[in-house]
């Protein structure tokens, strides 16, 4: 295995650091504002992991694939794999992961996962391509799980909100034991697309807005500053932290945890996608800093 490398990107006053381990962003700074949380194993060991080829929890940490059980657990394996660097410039880096002996022991499919990170003076974007170079259909789910600092600089914790650009349902599924999606729902205090952040929201784990139909979300501090998120081909949005933790994850998913009671094959799991041999799919998300002086992102 190649040693882990940290790649530094720069554009204007913006800086970003990407690790080859998991192709994980480990830093993003705009105008002196550090936006990706620095990480602390006491709270959460990750910073911005890629989730693949499953998103969320699986029953007993396993998936049944073609009659056999594989130890494919929480969020898959991409975050623990070294990605190869395909190309790199001052402002962008393209990285790639393909199947190997270790991944085949967890997920018996040929695959190619590429991510292109691009830094502008106010934004960091991630463009994903999932490919099937094999000879049989390939099931997959993909997610991106960045943790942002909380509170954002210049704002009190009590003033922070997440704002959806379209009306979404305040009903989110409860999280069952083992991290599974329960059939029962709970109502969160979402009014006119605005969710006031409070620690008690996360006492039952993540808030999963499935089929949110809101590709644009903002995380704001009450003073006009924040992060605008624009997603493409990611139908689900999840918010997660731990009560009292110094971060907020705003996650984009194509899939989600196993539903409570599901014990079928990976191809039968709700929200999984399937690629035919030779096919590929693209997914993307852009995170843009909104400055207080303009009330919107500088472009």
Question: What span, in angstroms and rounded, lies between the C-alpha atoms of 215 and 235?
Answer: 8
**Residue 1 confidence (pLDDT):** 57
Task: Provide CB contacts within 8 A for 194, sequence distance 6+.
Answer: 161, 162, 163, 164
What is the pTM assigned to this prediction?
0.95
Task: Compute CA 127 distance to the chain's CA centroid, rounded to the nearest angstrom.
Answer: 12
Classify residue 80 as left (phi > 0), alpha (psi -120 to 50) or beta.
Answer: alpha
**Residue 296 confidence (pLDDT):** 46
Q: Which residue has the higher pLDDT, 281 or 298?
A: 281
**Residue 273 confidence (pLDDT):** 98
Contact between 30 and 14 (Cβ < 8 Å): yes
pLDDT digits (tens, 9 = 90+) for 128-154: 999 999 999 999 999 999 999 999 987
pLDDT digits (tens, 9 = 90+) for 41-80: 999 999 999 999 999 999 999 999 999 999 999 999 999 9
Dihedral angle of Cα 136, 142, 45, 260, to the nearest 10 degrees:
-90
Domain 6-290 has CATH 3.40.50.720: no
Q: Quick check: 9 pLDDT over 90?
A: yes
pLDDT digits (tens, 9 = 90+) for 152-209: 987 788 899 999 988 789 999 999 999 999 999 999 999 989 999 999 999 989 999 9
Question: What span, in angstroms and rounded, lies between the C-alpha atoms of 6 and 3?
Answer: 10
Local structure of 188: helix, strand or coil:
coil
The residue extents of the domains of the chain are 6-290
Q: How many CB atoms lie within 10 A of CB 80?
A: 12
Mean pLDDT of 94-108: 98
């Amino acid at each position: 295995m190649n040693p882990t490398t940290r790649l530094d990107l720069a554009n204007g006053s913006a800086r970003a650091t990407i690790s080859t381990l998991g192709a994980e962003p480990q830093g993003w700074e705009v105008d002196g504002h550090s936006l990706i949380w620095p990480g602390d194993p006491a709270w959460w060991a990750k910073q911005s992991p890629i989730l693949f080829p499953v998103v969320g929890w699986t029953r007993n940490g396993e998936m049944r694939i073609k009659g056999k059980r594989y130890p494919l657990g929480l969020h898959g394996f991409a975050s623990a794999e070294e990605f190869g660097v395909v190309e790199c410039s001052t402002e962008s880096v393209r990285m790639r992961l393909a199947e190997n002996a270790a991944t085949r022991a967890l997920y018996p499919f040929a695959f190619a996962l590429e991510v292109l990170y691009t830094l502008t003076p106010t934004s960091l974007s991630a463009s994903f391509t999932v490919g099937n170079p094999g000879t049989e259909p390939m099931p997959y789910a993909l997610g991106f799980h960045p943790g942002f600092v909380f509170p954002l600089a210049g704002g009190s914790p009590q003033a922070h909100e997440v704002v959806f650009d379209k009306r979404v349902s305040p009903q989110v599924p409860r999280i069952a034991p083992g991290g599974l999606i329960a059939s029962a729902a709970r109502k969160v205090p979402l009014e006119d697309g605005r969710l006031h952040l409070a620690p008690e929201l996360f006492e039952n784990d993540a808030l999963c807005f499935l089929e949110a139909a809101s590709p644009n979300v903002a995380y704001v501090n009450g003073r006009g500053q924040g992060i605008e998120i624009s997603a493409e081909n990611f139908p689900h949005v999840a918010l997660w932290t731990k009560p009292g933790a110094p971060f907020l994850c705003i996650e984009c998913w194509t899939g989600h945890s196993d539903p409570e009671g599901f014990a079928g094959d990976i191809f039968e799991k709700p929200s999984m996608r399937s690629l035919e041999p030779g096919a590929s799919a693209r997914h993307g998300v852009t995170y843009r800093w909104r400055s207080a002086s303009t009330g919107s992102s500088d472009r």
